Structure 1
Amino acid sequence: MQELRIILIIIGLTLANVIYAQIDLTVCPGGFTNVHDPKWQMTPSWFEIVTELVDANGTIDVSQSFAPYYDVVTKNSKDGVMKSYWNFLTNETFDIVPATNREQTRPQCVRQIIQSTSETSIIQPNRLFLKPSVLLGFDVRNQVNKLWSIQYIGDEDLHGISANIFTSCFYVNDTRTTVSATYYVSDATKSQTYLPQNISLILQISVKSINEVGYKESYQYNVLRYTPNPNRNEEFETIETPPGVFCLNRTSQLILPSSISPVAIGNGERFSSQETFPVVSSRSAYHVQYDFSRFDVWHPNISNESQLLHTTELHDFRTGLKYQYNSATGQCSVLNMTYNDTDAMTVNGKPNFIQMGSVQHFFAMDDIPYQYTGEKRCRHHVSCNVWIGEKVLPNNSFQYREWYWVKGINNELLSYWAPWKMVIKNYANDVLSYMVESNVFNFHDPLSIVPEFSDTLANCYRSLGHRENFNVAIISFIVDNDHDYPLIKNVEYLRDTIFDTLAYRLGVRPFRISNVIINFNGKDILVTFTLLDATPFLGLVSTIIHDEPLTSRIEYLRYMIDSHTLQFDIRDGSKDYYVWARNNSLRAINTGFDPNPTECDGESCVQTTTPPPCLNITTEVNQNLEIVYKNSGPLITGFWISFVVLGVLIGAVGGFFVLKRFYKR
């Protein structure tokens, strides 16, 4: 053990002699400083300093934000503002230079790899201006410089402030420079106006240096503001590259969010001064498992800006169809989906067919590489992780997408990240040609998302009507509650249970069922809902679905009811209640005949027969099933709206008797 200590002492003395031999005695006649004075208050590992650098050529503003593995130096001179970033975890440095073109500024980023020969102690090439951090006791890679010491030499009054004077002589390896620095620090033992008690503030640093080839530099840092241990969130914002800056080949230290909920709803506001409607409100919902998405847009009416127009678009990737519904007019159009739809992707090996994209595709995060630019404050008390990506466009044009995802609120980390904002900028020949900002609000995973799709889809079916072979049925039946179970305690849960049971037992996609209404008549429950027909044709989908037609589902529902097999399991706390649909209680109002058979060859779907002419009002009775066919979509729509109004105004019992008289007819 004693031999090891002797070896370490010899190594230390040898290293000291080598460094001493490198010291230029013309700058440091007494050699390097080897005693650390206790009067000096150690510089923390996190700080911000704002200075003016004065030399024989003039003055420039220099500030540094410093952290153990990162720092940024900002220089403001007559040539403009330039930021230099050092990242010692990824061994990269970035210079951000504003490039002005046609009075529009697009920041340029120059990336370089930090190598063993890189000079990271200076603020600009070909000059010996050291970073403030190097003068304050940190090495060229932002770690504590164990060979740096400082000595107290006296006091002085500096611009009316009592100051302690310190001096330090040391050697900087990367530039092979001998440095002599004199520090003026406020006297912590004396009360000074506008200065905190018992805290020393750096006031001024005077520097003389010379490198091994004899190049000399004399300059002075006048410290305007020195903040030790700043707020960490603000510090993160400072040491990361600014918004909108893309650095080619940058090493991304954090990947984009990948565990995004496959079912979600979110509201949004879009801002763009270059579009007809600068502000557009929106709402989006998607369900990856069901291959369904919805987009709502509210924008001013061109002819009457005080009026908002509301348009909804539904994307059904199981059928390859999209529905465009106008809420004001109640009109709907149905179109084939294409790969140009934002949430659509082509099928691998089948470029003529489309499928629903991944969640990452939904957020435009899968077609270009993104790089992490750091943590920034989205709003007061809200911190975000930020990524930016570049997409090369034709004719020397580029698109930049910048994503903000909420990381924490009030310094509390969230259990999951949520999208906050996306900024898209297009540049043509370095000139900004287009910009849009989309803000996301209330992004969440809902308890039930099906009504977001099914209700509007039912409105579209009623608008298109049976003439387009989009048939709708309004169905009701009674659930017996002879044991007087307390089912009324939670109507929402009761409705959801009935909805889920119907979708499962009928074997239909849940979007075909909508507007489930529960009314109580004494002990019993009257259930009314809308059931949609299978789509009469399909779009460009590679996998053909086989939805059962409307009348066969009504027949099967009648069979389950009359055979006493349609059971509902209603849970109330820890208790389960089992109730059944009453025999012979099914009633249905259908707006069309059976859909005509279709044949699909994987390329297109065509209708093989002509639908029979619709009678004015025809009633077909099949045992206990009563189906009323009507030839007008608006008639059934009017009935449904009237029913809802009646249910609200008259109440459960009154609504039941109104329906009862209607069904008897």
Structure 2
Amino acid sequence: MASSLKLHLVTLIAVVIVVVQAAPDLGVCDPSNYTYPYDGPPLPTLPSQYRLKVEVNIVNKGYSFILEEFYDAVNNRGASISHRGDNSTHYTSYDYGLNQTVEVTTDHASGTSSCNVRDFGRFSLFGFHIENGTGHINGTDAIFRFGEEFNETYMGVATVRGIPANHWQRCIYNPDSNHTFRLDFYFSNASFHLQSGPNAIPLRATINGSGISRRTQEKYNFYHNYEYLEVEPGPVTMERAFEPPLGVVCPGYKRVKKFPDFPKVFGVNIESVIPSYQRIHYSREYYNYPANLFAYIYEPWGNSSGNATMVREVHDFNAGLAYKFEYGTDQCTIGPIPVDSFFRDTESPDGIHVSLKSPNSFILHNQSSWIYEGNTTLDDIDAEAWITAGQRVNGSSVWNFTMEYFFARGNWTGGTNKSGLVHQMPLLFRFTGKNASTNFTFRMNQKLIHFTYQLSDHFFDVHLCYNEEDSRSMAVEIIGVDIRKNYIENNTHNFYAAVQHTIANVSGLPASRIGNVYAAEGVEEILIVYFDMLGLPPVKGNAYQNYQTFFPP
């Protein structure tokens, strides 16, 4: 628990090395003067797991800070959070099994954070030792430097912050650094009931002594006081106590987990919160990768034309055509797919022609660039998070950004058995971008709702953009045993997408011109698939000619 104490003890005992011939400063204490055998009440048993908060006062140097510590010998890990007077917070975690330290410093004035990941060196806040070639966190006796093996002397009962406390003392002399000091510990007395329970917990520790300056070879005095303000023995329950803060990119973090795969066909409702503009925006997105189609339903930003309250766009990447429909009107606009569509569906290899982003590119970066952040909770849902960083150049503007994705974990599911249960569904997307020239920061949080595999053909229907005279209703027969049961009932979301893609592929038409697909059982073992073949579009699209489908038929 007194890892903060150990930090300064290590500095005093192990780090400061002065090559001088000297003896203990008997004006401080005499290390040979201790009670043997031990005479006093039983020494407190220190826990193998705890959380504590300590006020560290370096009296001789005139400064103090608050340190929060998390210790878990059971799972071989530790962490600390310190709050300094320069308006900064320092987080450090120690994973002894992975031999890794993660340090995150947050400057609250600028709102920026930096992360440093490194292997253990000679120093660890809680100390460590090697067992069978693997690092292990030190036990609490070694961290506290308190216990029967340290020849503690019982000094009686004292009062700490009005609490009766048992007082122990020992004298320490380090000949290498020529430091002599008294180490006093005060533990709660059983006569006083504390919130943490009946077990004795540390209330205060002090270091009072003298040393020799390495620079001037002159004697100096030091006094440190540690006030333990919160002590909670037992498993640490604070979320992410042993993991770096969310929203900070830590390259080299050894806790690795593959970014989840997005399915071939899916839809999701999105609530976008944009603090910079105090704006909340709602939309729905639908992806059909076998058919190479994307649909987007949204509220127009600001005033819309006519009586439209919602707009639906369908992007057919086979032809490079964008269809735009305004609800409440009969208007349909057809044109090339917009090239600059950073947050949605489009990527362009040459700035002119377009292709549909792959499922991996749906999250804007290659999956291998995402760093696993670990577990958290969102709206009481068990979740896990990934983060990545990047840069986007838009003309003369350079934007540096981070993106964060949160997915449900464990047994959380959505959907139904009929529409398809969704596991590890995306829950939240966070984007933070900063303009390198103006320092303007743009933030957006997108809550992902109703992530589903079941998509209706209506979302991709574009027949209003074509003359009925140019369209043809057609049908094909599929012969087989229990086709509906085996291929449709348990896989509806992929069946119709695959049929649309196959018909388009065989006919040489864009998938958007194959509409109103549905299946009906015919006689005996025949399944009839009906569909409409729409006419020619009035404009030329901008599909990438060398496009290779991501899901071959």
TM over 0.5: yes
Q: State how 1:249-260 maps to structure 2 within 5 Å.
A: 249-251=251-253, 253-260=255-262
Does the 8 A contact of 1:252 with 1:371 survive in 2? no
Please list every run of 5 or more consecutive structure 1 residues that lacks an aligned counterpart in the other structure.
1-20, 122-132, 135-139, 480-486, 546-665
- 2:236 pairs with 1:228: no
Alpha-carbon shift at residue 64 of structure 1 (Å): 2.3
**Structure 2 residue aligned with 1:427:** 434
Q: Give the greater-gyration-radius structure (CA).
A: 1
Does the 8 A contact of 1:210 with 1:216 survive in 2? yes
Which amino acid is the alignment partner of residue 40 of structure 1?
Answer: P
Does the 8 A contact of 1:48 with 1:227 survive in 2? yes
Q: Alignment partner for residue 144 of structure 1, among 139, 145, 160?
A: 139
Which amino acid is the alignment partner of residue 267 of structure 2?
Answer: I
Cα distance in 2, alignment partners of residues 250 and 173 from structure 1: 40
* Pair 1:152–1:406, CA change in 2 (3 A): farther
**Structure 2 residue aligned with 1:539:** 542
Q: Alignment partner for residue 409 of structure 2, among 407, 425, 435?
A: 407
* Pair 1:328–1:368, CA change in 2 (3 A): farther
Alpha-carbon shift at residue 257 of structure 1 (Å): 0.8
Q: Alignment partner for residue 51 of structure 1, among 28, 50, 54?
A: 54
Residue by residue, what CA displacement relative to the aligned partner does 1:450-469 show, whole Å, maximum 9, x if unpaired?
x2xx32443x32234369xx
**Structure 2 residue aligned with 1:84:** 91
Alpha-carbon shift at residue 269 of structure 1 (Å): 0.3
Does the 8 A contact of 1:246 with 1:390 survive in 2? no
Cα distance in 2, alignment partners of residues 415 and 80 from structure 1: 44
Alpha-carbon shift at residue 281 of structure 1 (Å): 0.9
Does the 8 A contact of 1:425 with 1:435 survive in 2? yes
Alpha-carbon shift at residue 330 of structure 1 (Å): 3.2
**Structure 1 residue aligned with 2:164:** 162
The alignment partner of 2:299 has SS state of strand
The alignment partner of 1:29 has SS state of coil
Instruction: Tell me: higher relative CO, structure 1 or 2? Use CA pairs within 8 A at least 6 residues apart.
Output: 2
Q: Alignment partner for residue 242 of structure 1, among 237, 240, 245?
A: 245
Which amino acid is the alignment partner of residue 113 of structure 2?
Answer: Q
The alignment partner of 2:204 has SS state of strand
Q: State how 1:471-510 maps to structure 2 within 5 Å.
A: 471-474=470-473
Does the 8 A contact of 2:463 with 2:515 survive in 1? no
**Structure 1 residue aligned with 2:363:** 363
* Pair 1:292–1:114, CA change in 2 (3 A): same
Which amino acid is the alignment partner of residue 54 of structure 2?
Answer: T
**Structure 2 residue aligned with 1:205:** 205
Does the 8 A contact of 2:334 with 2:465 survive in 1? no
Residue by residue, what CA displacement relative to the aligned partner does 1:289-346 show, whole Å, maximum 9, x if unpaired?
3322222213576379xx9821122222222222222222132222223543342334
The count of corresponding residues between Structure 1 and Structure 2 is 474
Which amino acid is the alignment partner of residue 220 of structure 1?
Answer: N
Cα distance in 2, alignment partners of residues 344 and 85 from structure 1: 40
Q: Alignment partner for residue 184 of structure 1, among 183, 186, 202?
A: 186
Cα distance in 1, alignment partners of residues 404 and 495 from structure 2: 44
Q: Alignment partner for residue 82 of structure 2, among 70, 74, 98?
A: 74
* Pair 1:243–1:179, CA change in 2 (3 A): farther
Cα distance in 2, alignment partners of residues 289 and 381 from structure 1: 31
Cα distance in 2, alignment partners of residues 259 and 502 from structure 1: 23
Cα distance in 1, alignment partners of residues 374 and 176 from structure 2: 28
Residue by residue, what CA displacement relative to the aligned partner does 1:332-374 show, whole Å, maximum 9, x if unpaired?
2222235433423346xx8864332221211112299443444
Alpha-carbon shift at residue 273 of structure 1 (Å): 3.5
Does the 8 A contact of 2:352 with 2:542 survive in 1? no
The alignment partner of 2:360 has SS state of helix
Residue by residue, what CA displacement relative to the aligned partner does 1:563-597 show, whole Å, maximum 9, x if unpaired?
xxxxxxxxxxxxxxxxxxxxxxxxxxxxxxxxxxx
Cα distance in 1, alignment partners of residues 389 and 490 from structure 2: 47
**Structure 2 residue aligned with 1:94:** 103
What TM-score, normalized by structure 1, do the two folds share? Answer: 0.58
The alignment partner of 1:302 has SS state of coil
Structure with greater helix share of residues: 1
Which amino acid is the alignment partner of residue 540 of structure 1?
Answer: A
Residue by residue, what CA displacement relative to the aligned partner does 1:104-150 show, whole Å, maximum 9, x if unpaired?
x3223263745635x544xxxxxxxxxxx57xxxxx98432675442
Alpha-carbon shift at residue 438 of structure 1 (Å): 1.0
Alpha-carbon shift at residue 271 of structure 1 (Å): 0.9
Q: State how 1:324-335 maps to structure 2 within 5 Å.
A: 324-335=324-335
Does the 8 A contact of 2:391 with 2:398 survive in 1? no
Which amino acid is the alignment partner of residue 65 of structure 1?
Answer: F
Which amino acid is the alignment partner of residue 70 of structure 2?
Answer: S
Which amino acid is the alignment partner of residue 111 of structure 1?
Answer: N
